[in-house]
Structure 1
Amino acid sequence: MGIYCMDESEKRLKQEDCNEDTLGAGILTLTNKRIAFDKTRGRIADFTKKIGDTVLDVQLGDITKVWKEGLLIKKVCFTAKTAEGEKTFKFGVFNTGSWQKDIQNAIDSLNS
Structure 2
Amino acid sequence: MEEGEKRIKQEDCSEDVLGSGILTLTNKRLAFDKTRARMMDFSKHMGDTILNVTLDNVTKTWKEGLLMKKVCFNAKTDDGDKTYKFGVFNTKNWLKSIDDAIANYEN
Q: Name the TM-score class by shorter chain.
A: over 0.9
The correspondence for 2:41, drawn from 40, 46, 67, is 46
- Distance (Å, rounded) in 1 between the aligned partners of 2:62 and 2:74: 9
Distance 1:25 1:70 in 2: 18
Q: What TM-score, normalized to structure 2?
A: 0.97
Could you say which residue in structure 2 is the equivalent of 1:108?
103
**Structure 1 residue 61 and structure 2 residue 56: aligned?**
yes
How well do the aligned residues superpose, as a CA RMSD in angstroms? 0.7
2:92 is matched with: 97
How far has the Cα of 1:16 moved from its partner? 0.1
* Cα distance in structure 1, aligned partners of 2:29 and 2:6: 10
Partner amino acid, structure 1, of 2:77: T
1:79 to 58, 63, 74: 74
Structure 2 CA distance, aligned partners of 1:84 and 1:110? Answer: 23
**Aligned amino acid, residue 22 of structure 1:** V
Alignment of 1:15 onto 2:39:
no
Equivalent-residue separation in structure 2 for 1:33 and 1:104 (angstroms) = 12
Cα distance between partner residues in 2 of 1:83 and 1:94: 29
Structure 1 position 8, deviation (Å): 2.2
How much does 1:45 deviate? Answer: 1.4
**Hey, what's the Cα distance between the residues in 2 that align with 1:20 and 1:72?**
16
Give the counterpart of 1:29 among 24, 46, 58: 24
Can you give the 5+ residue segments of structure 2 that lack an aligned partner in the other structure? none
